[in-house]
Structure 1
Amino acid sequence: MNFIMRIIVTSIIAFGLSYILTGVHIDSFWAAIIFAIVLAILNAILRPIFIILTLPITLFTFGLFLFVINAALILLTAEFVKGFRVDGFWWALLFSLLLSIITSVLYREDRSNKEQSR
């Protein structure tokens, strides 16, 4: 159930960001849901592989290269999902940063509510 809620929250945020950012285009809310599912799958499978393969450059840049990996995963997701387009790398980078920040703030609030109820 938690996975489904995360997918829905991520798709709502992504759909909202597509209205704010002119370089990110999501055609419908269903495309946003499919985007969130594909992104979750790619994050689970490819992200650890990318991190291991780029470990030296990630260490050299003090972890800032992880932003590039996030943007690459957004661009890769755009290749798989019809109805989701990104105009370039910099839009993907900005979109991934905002998506990460907003979702982490919302999930952190969810965790603090669970801890208070204990």
Structure 2
Amino acid sequence: MAFLLRLIVNALALWLTTLIVYGGVHMTPYEDTAVGTVLTYLIIGLIFGLVNGIIGTFIRIVAFPLYILTLGLISLVVNALLLLLVSWISSLMGFGLTVDGFWWAVLGALVLSIIASILGIFIRPRHAD
């Protein structure tokens, strides 16, 4: 259940990011219908979650001294590179996320992380005490 909830949060955050950072981060659905668009966001949300969970975690562990040295500012670059990686993977499928450059990726990653954090606060599963 938590995996599905995280997938929906990622998809919503990606959708809102493409609306806010309209000039440089956009989504190309595999089918021009509402269902095709929603499935595209869910697929790209899944890819983003996998890339962030596997590769992002590895990079954060290896680059831990850089995180300390830059007081965490390197995370903007790491998240931008992960967003560019998701864009590249989705371009191999012929649909999905398109990022127009590195600085658009930095802005998109910043907006995406803020939106995902806010959505995570509101959609966090409640524990019954």
Q: TM-score range by the shorter chain?
A: 0.7 to 0.9
Count of aligned positions: 116
Task: Give the superposition deviation at 1:100.
Answer: 1.1
Matches within 5 A, 1:69-88: 69-81=78-90, 82-88=95-101
Aligned position for 1:18: 18
Aligned position for 1:51: 60
Match of 1:64 among 69, 73, 77: 73
Q: CA RMSD in A?
A: 1.8
User: CA offsets per residue over residues 58-92 of structure 1, 9 Å max, x none?
Assistant: 21101110111111100000011132110011111
2:5 is equivalent to residue 5 of structure 1: yes
User: Which structure: greater helix fraction?
Assistant: 1
Q: Cα–Cα, structure 1 residues 79 and 14, in superposed 2: closer, same or farther, change >3 Å?
A: same
TM-score, normalization: structure 2?
A: 0.79
Gap regions ≥5 residues in structure 2: 30-36
2:93 is equivalent to residue 92 of structure 1: no
Task: Give the superposition deviation at 1:46.
Answer: 0.7
**Percent of aligned pairs with the same residue?**
34
C-alpha distance in structure 2 between counterparts of 1:101 and 1:16, whole Å:
11
C-alpha distance in structure 1 between counterparts of 2:61 and 2:2, whole Å:
28
Letter in 1 for 2:110: L
C-alpha distance in structure 2 between counterparts of 1:6 and 1:57, whole Å:
28
Q: Is the CA contact (8 Å cut-off) linking 2:14 and 2:112 kept in structure 1?
A: yes
C-alpha distance in structure 1 between counterparts of 2:106 and 2:46, whole Å:
19
Mean Cα deviation higher: 99-108 or 73-82: 99-108
- Structure scoring higher RCO (CA < 8 A, sep ≥ 6) equals 2
